[in-house]
A and B are shown apart, each in its own frame.
Chain A
Amino acid sequence: MAKPKTPLLDELEKGPWPSFVKDIKQAAEKKPMAQDLLGQLELSYKEKIGHWKHGGIVGVKGYGGGVIGRYSDRPDLFPGVEHFHTLRVNHPTGWFYTTKALRALCDVWDKHGSGLTNMHGSTGDIILLGTKTENLQPCFDDLSDAGFDLGGSGSALRTPSACVGPGRCEWACIDSLDICYNLTMELQDQIHRPMFPYKFKIKVSACANDCVAAIARADCSIIGTWRGKIQIDQKEVQAYAASGLNIREEVTDLCPTKCMSWDEKGKTLSIEDGDCTRCMHCINLMPKALRQGKEKGASILVGGKAPILQGALLSTLIVPFMKLEPPYKELKELIAKIQDWWDENGKSRERLGELINRMGMRTFLKAVGLKPIPQMVKAPRANPYVFFWPEEIKKEVK
């Protein structure tokens, strides 16, 4: 088979950043599928337009998701990518691998697919990029034998993800890895068999730095936080100051609540913990000197999403503090209540955040049994269109 000429893509082999074109060419040495991908991509570069048809419904036995169907609209030119379906494979929580596990994945994919992957997709899954319909089931069977399973797609629970957390990070207020893994294992059915109005995402970040963008992207965002005083090691603060960190300019002046002060003469840092909103800035700058308060837990926020359909939303706070210890009963009960309400009331392709906006936060809170508290809002309403529940209104006595 003649190698396709790719003068446009060849331009992207130049420059210092790793080139995806080199990876596709590497795979194309062995796989006609990858070679036709290269050819079709060159055509897209020439015509400035994509050449993938809308996906059809393909999958593996027993599952309603995990495979994204994809077909070329030019199979006449590129028969190797006539079908080019993607498998989403649930990544190990925290994206940890042994080389043995990675090689096992590569062996499966060399046998059944294009030899191309994404490490990783935006939701976190391992993306096995492109194979034929008839290869899907054998590929899944071999993946399963190698200890891997598919991730979520469509109107399902999408593969939950978590930051590195207690695996390596001193800022972890919760065991993000275990929470994510535990929920993933418990909710397997929701991941593999789409049953909801639309997608549902759970992301776990072990502190407010939110390394997995839970507030921006997840319907249920679980973020580690603490109660009690930030623990200060004054000697280490002084060491930071001596090493050139300007404590006033870089730390206390940038504190959003101005709850800290630095006594330049006495070389003492003090914190008014009652005013602290636990943003992490000071701790980020002085990890040796400052440690979070001793009582650890999570804030729960809900409703985050990207724009489709009614505009992007950030998750909003519904539980300021929840202790999270295995088996995470309280968290699981809350998620179940939220999903039940959404499943009952959501329209097709309506995300949780949009449903809350349509039905009203008060309706949502009542349904999931949470008491309204000031922490849930930036400010109370400023418009006078207040709704009362029927039982709050005195009925006329005849």
Chain B
Amino acid sequence: MAKTDIGPPNYKDLMPPLMQKNYGKWKYHEILKPGLLKHVAESGDELYTVRAGSGRLLSTDHIREICEIADKYCGGYLRFTSRHNVEFLLTDKNRVDALIAELKSKNYPVGGTGHSITNIVHTQGWVHCHTPATDASGPVKAVMDELYDYFVTMKLPAHVRIALACCLNMCGAVHCSDIAILGIHRTVPKPDHSRVPNVCEIPTTIASCPTGAIRPDPKTKSVVINEEKCMYCGNCYTVCPALPLADAENDGISIWVGGKVSNARSAPMFSKLVIPYLPNNPPRWPETVAAVKNIVETYAKHGRKHERMGEWIDRVGWERFFRLTGIEFTDKHIDDFTLAPNTFRTTTQFKWG
């Protein structure tokens, strides 16, 4: 029998010798151009990193191709980033241009550094999830095709981090992104009364609802869902498979903006709702792509240098954000969950837009 609890391979064995040698003794770095970083150690050693985008969903053949490139240029060493990019780690600066040329010839986008839009952190969607309100890989591909130029350049006021989650469970830091694309369900789960008594534990199912919308139905030995209380989170479906909530015509996408995870300048922030609903329109989600592009371009035009999306909005105010983007403000934007009054305006100070 195989050994258990061995843990992951030791990262130190997988690190280029130059990184091992200068471990913890780095002096400074520079972004030489989009997708190319130069790190200089106290010893004077230089490490060059070439960053390339990927679709995250990779075939083993694709990974083997990446390995061939890393063997050719990097002595067989590479890493991935927390946002699904591939980083080729070179010690020979004379090989950098040839590597970038080869990557470009094989259609790898080189960029994602500095004030760019880097890769979109995303979830599984229809490829592998059981509660998705939209696909993940498809909208990501469509949005990145449109925003490609922002990946391979560094012309925005600051970093723009986009993330996509296909439902409210929000795998990944979607809720603290400059732009979050979030799949939403808008209709209540439909209990399959013939299956609920057999496949679900009723007390667990009732307890799983954050709003107390589920109650038992002694007649059917199933459950009843209060439509007014349900907020379509899908938590009950995760514990009770006989409560499906997917709805082809009503599921869709919402857009949230202004979040960040870094502590630089301002504290980390949540993303806020700006577009409550866009239809699922596969294969290329044109409404979603247009909405994201509009927000990026409005920010690019009005944001000041080094100002993240949320910092820009804090400076100009949400009333101006809605005017500049032309996005309609509705009752959906006004919070009605816990602590909602904290988001209401309690002053006479406001802008006209």
CB distance from A385 to the nearest CB of B (A): 16
In the complex, how many angstroms separate the beta carbon of B220 from the nearest chain A beta carbon? 20
Instruction: Point out the residues of chain B lying under 8 angstroms from A44, CB to CB.
Output: 126, 135
Once the chains bind, are B173 and A213 in contact (CB under 8 Å)? yes
Q: Which chain A residues border B55 with CB–CB below 8 Å?
A: 17-20, 23
Please determine whether B78 and A16 come into contact, CB atoms closer than 8 angstroms: no
Taking CB atoms, residues of chain A closer than 8 Å to B27 are: 170, 288
Rounded to whole Å, the gap between the CB of A206 and the closest CB of chain B is 10
Distance, CA A213 to CA B174, complexed state (A): 10
What are 30 sample pairs from A and B whose C-beta atoms fall under 8 A apart? A15-B148, A18-B53, A24-B57, A41-B126, A49-B246, A49-B247, A50-B129, A52-B129, A95-B81, A95-B82, A99-B68, A102-B63, A106-B64, A116-B60, A117-B57, A122-B123, A129-B127, A168-B19, A184-B8, A192-B4, A208-B263, A209-B262, A210-B262, A215-B263, A223-B263, A281-B264, A284-B264, A306-B174, A314-B268, A348-B207
Is B170 an interface residue, CB under 8 A from the partner? yes
Given A37, A120, A280, which contacts B264 in the complex, CB threshold below 8 Å? Answer: A280
Please determine whether A52 and B71 come into contact, CB atoms closer than 8 angstroms.
no
A86 to B28, CA, bound (A): 40
Give the Cβ gap from A75 to chain B, nearest Cβ, in Å.
15
Bound-state Cα–Cα, A148 to B5, Å? 10
What DSSP secondary structure best describes chain B's contact surface? Answer: loop
B280 close to A98 (CB less than 8 A): no
B63 touching A117, Cβ below 8 Å: yes
Q: Which residues of A contact B54 (CB under 8 A)?
A: 18, 119
Contact B132 A11 (CB under 8 A): no
Contacts of A86 in B (CB 8 A): 128
Q: Roughly how many angstroms separate A120 CA and B121 CA in the complex, as a whole number? A: 10
Q: Which of B26, B64, B235 contacts A308 (CB 8 A)?
A: B235
Q: Which A-chain residue is minimally distant from B271 (CB atoms)? A: A312
Interfacial chain A residues near B170, Cβ < 8 Å: 306-308, 312
Complex CA gap A91/B14 in Å reads 11
Q: Which residues of chain A come closer than 8 Å to B60, judged between CB atoms?
A: 27, 106, 109-110, 115-117
Report A150-174 residues with CB < 8 Å from chain B CB: 161, 163-164, 166-170, 172
Do A119 and B84 contact each other (CB < 8 Å), given the known contacts A84-B128, A170-B27? yes
- A70 and B338 CA atoms in complex are apart in Å by 34
Interface residues of B (CB under 8 A from A): 1-11, 13-15, 19, 23-24, 26-30, 39, 47, 49, 53-64, 66-68, 70-71, 76-82, 84, 86, 107-109, 121-132, 135, 137-138, 141-142, 144-145, 148, 151, 168-176, 204, 207-208, 210, 233, 235, 237-238, 241, 246-249, 251, 259, 261-266, 268, 270, 280, 282-284, 305-306, 337-338
Q: Which of A52, A280, A308 contacts B130 (CB 8 A)?
A: A52
Q: What residues of chain A lie closer than 8 Å to B9, measured between beta carbons?
A: 92, 101, 147-148
A51 to B280 Cα, complex, angstroms = 16
Q: How far is the CA of A145 from the CA of B171 in the complex (A)?
A: 30
The interface bits of chain A over 238-269 (1 if a CB of B lies within 8 angstroms of the residue's CB, else 0) are 00000000000110001110000000000000
Partner of A97 from B78, B123, B264 at Cβ < 8 Å = B78
A189 to B6, CA, bound (A): 10
Contacting pair A145 B56 (CB below 8 A): no
Q: Are A52 and B78 in contact (CB under 8 A)?
A: no
Total count of chain A residues near the partner, CB < 8 A? 125
Extra contacts besides A8-B283, A93-B11, A216-B175 (14): CB < 8 Å: A14-B145, A17-B141, A17-B145, A24-B57, A50-B130, A93-B8, A95-B79, A97-B77, A110-B60, A122-B171, A142-B2, A149-B6, A164-B79, A307-B169
Q: Bound state CA distance, A134 and B159, in angstroms?
A: 45
- Would B76 and A99 count as touching, CB distance under 8 A? yes
Do A168 and B78 touch (CB < 8 A)?
A: no
How close is B207's CB to chain A, nearest CB, in angstroms?
Answer: 7
In the complex with contacts A16-B107, A129-B128, A50-B246 CB distance below 8 A: yes
Inter-chain CA distance A279–B268, complex, in Å, is: 11
- A interface, CB within 8 angstroms of B: 8-9, 11-12, 14-21, 23-24, 26-27, 34, 37, 41, 44-45, 47-55, 61-63, 70, 84, 86, 90-103, 105-106, 109-110, 115-124, 129-130, 140-145, 147-149, 161, 163-164, 166-170, 172, 175, 177, 181, 184-185, 188-189, 192, 208-213, 215-217, 223, 249-250, 254-256, 279-281, 284-285, 287-288, 306-312, 314, 347-349
A-B interface pairs (CB < 8 A), number? 341
Expressed in whole angstroms, the Cα–Cα distance for A288 and B247 within the complex equals: 54
CA gap between A309 and B337 in the complex, in Å: 12
Residue of A nearest to B107 (CB): A18
The answer to whether A49 touches B283 (Cβ under 8 A) is no
- Best-buried of A8, A44, A163 by chain B (most CB within 10 Å): A44
